Structure 1
Amino acid sequence: MSSAQGLSWGILGAARIARALLPAIRAAGGKVTMLGVREPRSERAQAFAAQWGIERVGSYADVLASEVEAIYNPLPNDAHLPWTEAALRAGKHALTEKPLALHAGEAQALADAAAQTGRVLLEAFAYRFQPQVIRLRELVRSGELGEIRAYRGAFGFPLTRPDDFRWLAERGGGALYDVGCYPVNLARLLLGEPESVTAQARWTPGGVDVGLSGTLHFGASLASIDCAFDWGPVPTQRLTLVGTSGTLEMAGAFRSKTDTETALRVQTDKGERTETFPPHDGYAAMVAHFQRVVRGDEPARYPPEDAVRQARVLDALYAAAREGQAAMVNR
């Protein structure tokens, strides 16, 4: 993508994940011209801007009042709705970290704001732009595995920082929002929308799910998802598909950027094979797609309504875990 097609960007906050998006924006031909933070004059904000060559530092509101065309919102989960909606209303396109919002009602409010303003809104699941995930969808749709009967997706890691917002219920913390949303999202990509869910969770005294396991019911298919903040010693990402004609396994299924080769293993009655994929930057691919959608060069692969449907499933999983009984997915 040439720089002529890139957008001018503003970043809301200096979150760790922003360090992955900044080079991705540049690789996609965009330019980050402004950083918005709570304390613009702080040493940390100024150092971050200097490190990444960002010309201006201001408040979140300053970014929305500037001439930037798009914003990236990696703020804590409870700040996704207010600042993304404010950005859309200010005429900015918005790439917002997952989960897009804390429940389906908030996600719908953002989808409505995008429709009303004519701005592009995308939930930042960069893993969906990895070639191995695109190939995975092709394999499932081809019927090589037959009808998928079982899906098993797991994503967890040891969260050792006690002051991390993900330990706070009021900030939208919890393992399902942070990492469980990935296997849920991929199950939806492969199997469609679930009819109902069941779930159980391990809760902190503050009401945050440190670990959650759930089952999504897709008629003839069942998808099990597991996520946690206390798995170790290293992050775990695994995917298994079991069909009527074969099986598939992939490690690192939810990585947004890979520095090493990724392997996808398939076994059918015709034998076994391994398909490999070179290192790839899903962040840059996502940003490039986002910018092409803004420029009108291609349709959105994942319009805001997809994020609303995702939120409905997360809502149902939390309801099932809290109430101890199956929950229907609101369609």
Structure 2
Amino acid sequence: MTFRWGILGAARIAAALIPAIREAGGEVVMLGAREPGSARVRAFAQEWQVPQVGSYQDVMDADLDAVYNPLPNHLHRPWSEAVMRAGKHVLTEKPLSLNAAEARQLEQTASQTGKVLQEAFAYRFAPQHLAVLEAVRGGELGEIRLYQGVLGFQMTNNGDFRWNPEMGGGALYDVGCYPVNLARLLLGEPQAVMAQARWTQSGSTQAGVDVALSGLLDYGQTGTGPLVSIDCGFDWSPQGMLGRCLVVGTRGHLELENAYLSNVATFRLTVNGEVRSVAPGNGYAEMVRHFQRVALGQESALYPPSDATGQAQVLDALLLSAREGRRVEL
């Protein structure tokens, strides 16, 4: 049986997921759009050979197994909920929701409907990040003492929704969520956070979005626990995406360049000064493959909805800390 997919919106990230769905053995059946008759949407569907185009509601009503939701952040919760209520599984682009309350609502809907809900952190399935997990979880680095995660770029499109606070804009939601997610994956849940940020409206942090944010995650083991920091931004150098991960332990350390990316041909993983060869792979396709197997009852979910709720709680705390200039307990 072919696993049938619908896509909500002609977002740029959908261009990465459509070939990944096909590589994973799925079929992209329908593209849903706010303006399905527009030339841009029709051209997107033609370019990616999506046979049907309709409205978002048409996708809800279609004979599909699952839907990928890469809409702007503020539309993740309502449309992902609608997908599950319509009897379909849903793969939702990060962040799953605008806050932990919305994430818990989606988690409850997934439980009520019995549908698979997954936050689309494809990097977790990429070979270089699996190698990082193996080195840390396998004890090769000893007890972890330091984690630094960095991801940012220079965003020059002033009309991008990521500048709009009402649409869930900001650097933390867009790029900072990745180093936060990997910290949680490697070390578990922090007990508290502290953060500072630059905002789009100086002197009115409640109204703007975070142009850049730096945060500390406190794991509560005074004197012995890991020191964890994350940095993200939209106003960094114009040389392209900067993503790095550094993990230091009592027996060794590792560094990963091109960190948090999901499908790159070139990366550099260095463990204790040794450059390790890890064959590149498509994290998007592996994520989709896992999602489909979970939906078909062939695998247990590696990242159930509760993981996305935990992620949202940390993001909430970081933004609150940056706005109010104080430590926030979790």
Q: What is the TM-score with the length of structure 2 in the denominator?
A: 0.95
SS in 2 for 1:277: coil
Q: Does 1:264 align with 2:269?
A: yes
Counterparts of 1:143 and 1:278, CA distance in 2: 22
DSSP 3-state at the match of 1:202: strand
* Cα distance in 1 between the residues matched to 2:237 and 2:291: 34
C-alpha distance in 1, partners of 2:282/2:135?
22
Are positions 1:154 and 2:150 aligned together?
yes
1:13 corresponds in structure 2 to: 9
Residue 263 (structure 1) shift = 2.4
Structure-1 separation of matches of 2:49 and 2:271: 45
Q: Does 1:105 align with 2:93?
A: no
> Is 1:242 paired with 2:238?
no
What CA distance in whole angstroms lies between the structure 2 residues aligned with 1:170 and 1:67? Answer: 33
Q: Secondary structure at 2:281's aligned position in 1?
A: coil
Output the CA distance in 2 between the equivalents of 1:298 and 1:69.
16
Residues 110 and 116, structure 2, Cα contact 8 Å, conserved in 1: yes
| 1:6-155 correspondence to structure 2 within 5 Å | 6-155=2-151
Tell me how large the CA RMSD over aligned residues is: 0.9
| Structure 2 equivalent of residue 231 of structure 1 | 236
Q: State the alpha-carbon separation in 2 of the partners of residues 7 and 39 from structure 1.
A: 26
1:246 CA drift (Å): 1.4
**Alignment deviations for residues 32-85 of structure 1 (CA, whole Å, 9 cap, x no partner):** 111100111111111111111111111101100111110000000000000000
Do the aligned partners of 2:127 and 2:280 also contact (CA within 8 Å) in 1?
A: no
SS in 2 for 1:300: coil
Instruction: Say which is worse superposed, 43-52 or 147-156, in terms of deviation.
Output: 43-52
CA distance in 2 between partners of 1:225 and 1:183 (Å):
6
1:56, 1:247 → 2: CA distance? 50
Q: Distance in 1 between matches of 2:154 and 2:124?
A: 24
The amino acid that maps onto 2:233 is A
| Aligned match of 1:318 | 319
Aligned residue type for 1:108: R
Equivalent residue for 1:174, pick from 164, 170, 193: 170
One-letter amino acid of the counterpart of residue 111, structure 2: A
Distance 1:255 1:144 in 2: 23
Secondary structure of the residue aligned to 2:277 is strand
* Partner residue, 2:181: 185
Residue 281 of structure 1 corresponds to: 282
Unaligned 5+ runs, structure 1: none
Q: Tell me if structure 1 keeps the 8 A contact 2:128–2:280.
A: no
| Matching of residue 199 in structure 1 with residue 195 in structure 2 | yes
Letter matched to residue 321 of structure 2: A
Distance of 1:99 and 1:223 partners within structure 2:
21
Give the 4+ runs in structure 1 shifted more than 6 A. none
CA contact (8 A) 2:100 2:312 kept: yes
Where 2:301 maps in the other structure, the secondary structure is coil
Instruction: Provide the secondary structure at the position in 1 that maps to 2:290.
Output: helix
- Residue 176 of structure 2 aligns to a residue whose secondary structure is helix
Counterparts of 1:256 and 1:143, CA distance in 2? 24
Residue number in structure 2 paired with 1:299: 300
TM-score w.r.t. the length of structure 1 is: 0.95
* CA distance, structure 2, for counterparts of residue 288 and residue 164 of structure 1: 31
Correspondence for 1:208: 209
Q: Which runs of 5+ in 2 are unaligned?
A: 202-206
Aligned residues: 320
SS of the residue corresponding to residue 212 of structure 1 reads strand
CA displacement at 1:310 relative to structure 2? 0.3
